[in-house]
Structure 1
Amino acid sequence: MTSIHWRFFWYRNVSSNQSYTFKPLSDDGTTEEYYTLSPAGHIHTGRYVCRAGRGNSYYTDYSEPQFLWSGDLQSTVSLTVNPNRTQHFTSGTSVSLSCEEKVNSTGWRLMRCTEKGVEDLVESRWVTKSGSTQTRDSGVYWCESGSGENSNAINITVTDGDVILESPVHPVTEGDTVTLVCKHRTNISNIIKADFYKDGVLIRNETTGEKTIPVVSKSDEGFYKCTSNEG
């Protein structure tokens, strides 16, 4: 699409009375194919979409939503997940999310962004999803304090498939040792033959269901997944 004679409109997905609406970031849109939030802050954390328009009557469909997280890397509140992994099975899986204070902080709450929008889950320190954990529980979670801070954000996936990859919730630093574990829903021993992929490329076949990176380096960054036919 050429940008000649087009204007671009930008929206933030906000909740109101248990429903979700698109709130425009500006009334007139922009002639540029981008929108700048400056200075970016915690208030900009949320879900955004855009669309293009020409004249006063023609508009394209909304884009696919994109989640933007803006927070303090040295926040006084930290979100932890137990079990310590980003992927979880449906049914029978107990997942606990906890907002932990590093120093005194007031009025914080647990937040979640899903395909519907951003929502306030509960005004308490922790929330546990047990037994009834469903795919709809997938989303980006973080803690938000009354003083305007955001904790780290964690992308949690709940799947009804048979295989998940167990990997650390929080980013690791160079020099650390990391073990990735391929888990099958019906295999109690967790010892399975598995194929490990990085950015869609097969990197290793393992008979133990585990792949260890002894010394993490910058080159190890990427998207990992595993597959297995064993149950």
Structure 2
Amino acid sequence: MSDAVTLTVSSDKPQTVLSVSPDRWLTPGESVTLMCEVTNSSTGWTFSWFTVHESTEEVELVPDSIRGSKGIYTVRSVTVKHTGVYVCRAERGDPAYHTEYSNTKPLFVTSVSPSVSLIIRPNRSQHFSSESLSLSCEDHSNSTGWTVRRYTDKLKLCSSSDTRSTGATSTCTIRSLNTSDTGVYWCQSKSIGTLHHVNISVHNGNVILDSPVHPVTEGDSLTLRCLYRDKKPSNLRAEFYKDGSVVQNQTTDMMTIPTVSKSHEGFYYCKHPERGESPKSWISVRSERSQVKTSSFTTITFPLAVCPYLLATVVLVFKCCRSKVSHSSVEDQLQYAVREDEASN
């Protein structure tokens, strides 16, 4: 007789967890990996990946995903068509036993179009609940087809009843914000893809941080403010924190960094002694090194490109002058010979 083994049968299906690496916005051509795991379960599973339809919320099997036991699906060169919300599921046995669908994970692939702008009013990343918010996709090239989209727990349009399109501008207005409106917002076009994503957070508290929605450019100034749900307190003294450490203790509710550098990137929040502290906001700093390099390269290469033309011009002028001198010398000699001949005669 062998040792006894306890067999436990659970009516609950095993849970699958989906993760994405890198978990950030991607640009076309980058590689991304989706990893699916079954929690608290043994091996022997095979995996499938699905996209979630925006309108019906039904799932569709990703046609180029590879089913296997490792739970890894890699796209080596993403395009804008890979933008979407993904889930995974595992199965094993014959007949197949399926787990529940995993948590949803968004995958964003963004392209670049300098003619398109995402305008936020009021222009900040944190907002109080019950306030209104307006987001507009403006195309300065006067093309159409842009829409404002967002991702909270699913991929969807901004509420159709709140969306209005006028020519090359599509505007989404949320008249009374709720904490469930916290998420990522962006402009999207069928022909171009996704552009200009921003993080918007909505809070029920009494204090928020007025911080920029878009990345700050190196060398620019940055101003942060404490904003209050009700009227301003009589004592405006506030502390400002970066990555958990006090960076400035002001007699006012405002802090200014005159010249921003890459070292200023991080999580910021403010704290008022009476009203409390704001949520944290990530402030991103955009480098201008590439533009500087381009400018320096242009400064160097322009004279180098012009020099051959200047040199050729100098050579031509020099040859022309020599030709004139030689021609004048021949004429003088001929005239001298004529005069000598006339004198001898």
Q: Deviations over 1:107-137 (max 9, x none)?
A: 211111121332354362212223x222222
Greater shift, 29-38 or 159-168, is seen at 29-38
Write 1 or 2 for the structure with the bigger share of strand: 1
Dislocated runs of 4+, deviation >6 Å: none
CA distance in structure 1 between the partners assigned to 2:239 and 2:90 by the alignment? 42
Which of 37, 51, 60 is equivalent to 2:75? 37
Q: Which residue of 1 aligns with 2:230?
A: 186
Query: Are 1:118 and 2:156 an aligned pair?
Result: yes
1:106–1:146 contact (8 Å) kept in structure 2: no
- Normalising by structure 1, we get a TM-score of 0.81
Which of 150, 156, 160 is equivalent to 2:200? 156
Query: Are 1:23 and 2:66 an aligned pair?
Result: no
Query: Are 1:108 and 2:152 an aligned pair?
Result: no
**Displacement of 1:88:** 0.6
Aligned residues: 225
Paired residue secondary structure (2:81): helix
Q: Which residue of 2 aligns with 1:62?
A: 102
**RMSD, matched Cα:** 2.9
2:125–2:210 contact (8 Å) kept in structure 1: yes
Which of 143, 168, 172 is equivalent to 2:212? 168
Query: Are 1:129 and 2:174 an aligned pair?
Result: yes
Write 1 or 2 for the structure with the bigger share of helix: 2
2:158–2:172 contact (8 Å) kept in structure 1: no
- Structure number with higher relative contact order (C-alpha < 8 Å, ≥ 6 residues apart): 1
Paired residue secondary structure (1:15): coil
Alpha-carbon distance change, 32 to 196 in structure 1, aligned in 2, over 3 angstroms: farther
Report the AA paired with residue 81 of structure 2. Answer: I
CA distance in structure 1 between the partners assigned to 2:120 and 2:254 by the alignment? 21
Query: Are 1:203 and 2:246 an aligned pair?
Result: yes
Report the AA paired with residue 94 of structure 1. Answer: S
Identity of aligned residues (%): 43
2:44–2:92 contact (8 Å) kept in structure 1: yes
Is the radius of gyration larger for structure 1 or structure 2? 2
Query: Are 1:83 and 2:126 an aligned pair?
Result: no
